[in-house]
Amino acid sequence: MSDTLRNLDLNLLTVFATIMAECSVTRAGERLGLSQPATSGALARLREAFRDPLFIRTGRAFEPTARALALMERLGPALETLAEAVAPAVPFDPALDRRDFRIACQDDIAIPLLPRLMPVLGAEAPLCTLTVRRADWKTAPVQLEKAEVSIVLGFMADDLPANARRRVVVNGHFMVLRADAAPEPISLDDYCARPHVLVTPAGDLRGRADEALARIGRSRRVVLGLTDFALLPAVLAGTDLVATVPDFVAETLAAHGGLRIDPTPFDPPPAVISMAWRGATDGDPAERWLRGQIVALLRR
């Protein structure tokens, strides 16, 4: 062990990581159960130990220095691993346990998952609760890094926290949703001629279907962008609008919203959904149980 590490109070590293997550000395102290003077004192000792200000106030913002960012890049995974190593092995009995599971997911996953998951929780873990937050590819890494949730479900980019685990849970495909009564499946010409609704968390009006159409020299006209798949049945009803959505959400919406499902008249990319979770919860019996239930329910 180096002299630097031997002489450093390792509790300060937890304070440092919490200030990084909260971007506030006050909020970090509240999260750690420390007074503001105690948290400020810990920050002063950190600054002395690392010979760097670590955080600089610019207006209302509390921004980390380059040294702080470099420290966190290596320290974050180490703290996750340490927390997992020293965590007590507490058995999980779903019938008796009382806890609030906290997950985040895109609503195209929430729509088919929650009607299946809640009966399982009610029957097997009746004293547990579930909190579900909205996630997308931009917010998922932050939600995991700040430990706001333990599991995220959705489309995943490659910028997850270094110690996060990930696995594919759905290999789906896109389908066309419509509310009209035309008996034949939608043709490519009809698809391109119809007005389209796009569910777009990013707020733009171009999606993955547009990229696939461009490859075959075709295009469509998106006239409405939404952030919520659950609005589609009401929006499509009584119109000639169509929406291109993953099969797992199309089936659920059609079953409850009186919609028709057609195959896409071209070859779109796959609809791949992943589950990511914090490395610190990888071996937790309760979290492993919940992840197993989610995987089983989404693969029905």
pLDDT tens by residue, 240-253:
999 999 998 998 89
**Comma-separated ranges of CATH 3.40.190.10 domains in the chain:** 100-172+273-298, 174-269
Name the range with the highest mean pLDDT among 11-15, 204-208, 294-298: 294-298
Residue 24 has pLDDT above 50, yes or no: yes
- Alpha carbon distance 89, 105 (integer Å): 28
Mean pLDDT to the nearest integer, 69-88: 73
Q: What is the pLDDT of residues 256-284, one digit of tens each?
A: 767 999 999 999 989 889 999 988 888 88
CATH fold of 100-172+273-298: D-Maltodextrin-Binding Protein; domain 2 (3.40.190)
What pLDDT, on a 0 to 100 scale, did the predictor assign at position 262?
Answer: 96
Name the range with the highest mean pLDDT among 4-8, 47-51, 126-130, 278-282: 126-130
What pLDDT, on a 0 to 100 scale, did the predictor assign at position 1?
Answer: 42
- pTM recorded for the entire structure: 0.67
Mean pLDDT to the nearest integer, 122-151: 90
Q: How confident is the model at residue 221 (pLDDT cuts 50, 70, 90)?
A: very high
What pLDDT, on a 0 to 100 scale, did the predictor assign at position 88?
Answer: 57
Residue with tokens 């149980």, as numbered in its chain:
289
Mean pLDDT to the nearest integer, 150-154: 93
Mean pLDDT to the nearest integer, 47-57: 89
* CA neighbours closer than 13 Å in the CB half-sphere of residue 279: 16
**Comma-separated ranges of CATH 1.10.10.10 domains in the chain:** 3-86
CATH classification of 174-269, choosing from 3.40.50.10260, 3.40.190.10, 3.40.50.1820, 3.40.50.1220? 3.40.190.10
What pLDDT, on a 0 to 100 scale, did the predictor assign at position 4?
Answer: 55
User: Greater confidence, 7 or 230?
Assistant: 230
Domain spanning 3-86, CATH class? mainly alpha
Q: How does 71-106 read in b/e, with b if 16+ C-beta sit within 10 Å?
A: bbeebbbebbeebbeeeeeeeeebeebeeebbbbbb
Residue with tokens 């959505």, as numbered in its chain:
245
Map residue 224 onto helix, strand or coil.
Answer: strand
What is the average pLDDT value for the chain, to the nearest integer? Answer: 87
Burial (CB count within 10 angstroms: exposed 0-12, middle 13-18, buried 19+), residue 22 = middle
Angle, vertex CA 146, rays to CA 136 and CA 171, nearest 5: 35
Q: What is the pLDDT of residues 187-219, one digit of tens each?
A: 999 999 999 999 987 778 898 899 999 999 999
| Tally of CB atoms within 10 A around 204 | 11
